[in-house]
Structure 1
Amino acid sequence: MPVTEIESESQFTELTKNDATKLIVLYFHTPWAQPCQTMNQIFKTVADSKASDNSISFLSINADELSEISELFEVSAVPYIILIRNSVILKELSGADPKEFINSLNQFSSSSSTSTSHNGPTPLATATATKPQTTSQPEEESEDAVQERLKKLTTAAPIMLFMKGSPSSPQCGFSRQLVAILREHQVRFGFFDILKDDSVRQGLKKFSDWPTFPQLYVNGEFQGGLDIVKESIEEDDQFFEKALQAAA
């Protein structure tokens, strides 16, 4: 098939690293976004027309299911198309504009140049490479097992945010505000979407002795929720730096 539907981060990494000289076309979409329904067919048709061209790879990515990849490229709206060669972002296209997509594809497929035409986001500019991997858990997990998993999750990155949704697609206003604060202060952080794992969501309330989300951890030490973090920054604008040093 000309279009490869990405199903995991490992598959994505393998396909994008196999041959860096290829032009790689990333198509981010969601099943609920109306513009994607039109763009899905256009993307497939264009990919089919290039089926004999081995120098191009067309990768389709569900932005909701693979939020880690979406966050890597700071995808905040769909449909979204990114053209890459030699690990360099050549072009980013937001929205369902078939003409712009085809023109951009023709422009870069006919050239081996890797000079950028758009200053795209630097991968991992705002999120640490050490992100917890969300794996399927047993239907029934013992309390001890949950506690052990939470210890690992809260220390998965120096600064860990437990939130509703992902940084690129927060599912509540409080999570959105805390992400904005971290980015404003240029803090590198890992995150965990508590909506995808109810054991973590419920267990963390007891683990932190804090009933709401988001929750922020620094080097495994609970710092608080949105209000406490805001108050801490108001008292000391170097709160994050000092918290890292104190918890080290």
Structure 2
Amino acid sequence: MSGSSALSSCSVELIKDQERFDKVVADASNLVVIHFAASWAEQCKHMGEIMNELAKDPRFANVVFITVDAESLAEVSFKYEIVAAPTVIFLKGGKQIDRLDGLNAAEFTAKVTKHSNKMIGGLSQANTKQDLNERLKKLINSAPILLFMKGNPDTPKCGFSRQITQILTEQGIKYSTFDILEDDDVRQGLKAFSNWPTYPQLYAKGELLGGLDIVKEMVESGELKEALPKAEDLNARLKGIIEQSPVVLFMKGSPSAPKCGFSRTTVGILDEVGVPYTTFDILSDDEVRQGLKVYSNWPTYPQLYVKGELLGGLDIIKELKESGELEAELKG
């Protein structure tokens, strides 16, 4: 493997000289994403491929992606405390705002998305807010009873989330969950959308009931079950979940903590392609887990849907990636 094949790509400039590096950083008015790489490191080649895909994404048209030969530019590497490759540094206005040590496709894509969104201004910002609100509406209405929490019912990641799941289970209430730790856009946006600053948040029929304290009061007064919807047609519910966003992956676990090898591999492929997607943890809802197999006539997981239509499982996703068709399929 030559140095150029490991470090460079058609959309990401490879920089080996200090003068050019200083000029790129000084001239950039938006986000600069710097991949410190080594020609001999296989993980750097993988990171380069991911960067190249993100550089082609219209959402990141104003982001400057560059690769730096960490060994050739030792002074720059020293300045940014680079001790291993790959390492990614995020700059804005010439100042470091974040970093990522090692290869983590999901976290890397999330950081690029997060920091590039912060720079959108004027009309674009308004459009972005409108798009997020539309997504939140669809998400809130994707299940009759939906709990936004930290973690999932099996592994809650805060005491309040643990308590509310225990209450709902004790009351015999069937509900779906969304892990707000997996999506910072939803986590921050829902606070403003619902005018409710904390989590967990419980929704019924698309309307906010409240947090843990409200749920406790409603249980004590006997009002909780009265406020919850009667069981709806399962197919209608599945359709709502499938259509909550353009690309939806039904998997075991979450992107940051997959609970089977097939789900882990699928997430890795989707992160490489760089097309945004949402996920549903089928382990958190047995009704969905069993019902979707019949609904889609597809007996295994993961299952990937694009614009409401089943694309397939891992084998089909692999085939599409190998043939170069996956990105086009995901974009509809």
Q: Which category of TM-score, normalised to the shorter sequence, fits these structures? A: 0.3 to 0.5
- Report the structure number with the largest CA radius of gyration: 2
Between 1 and 2, higher relative CO (CA 8 Å, sep ≥ 6) is seen in 1
More helix, by proportion: 2
TM-score (norm 1): 0.45
TM-score, length basis structure 2: 0.34
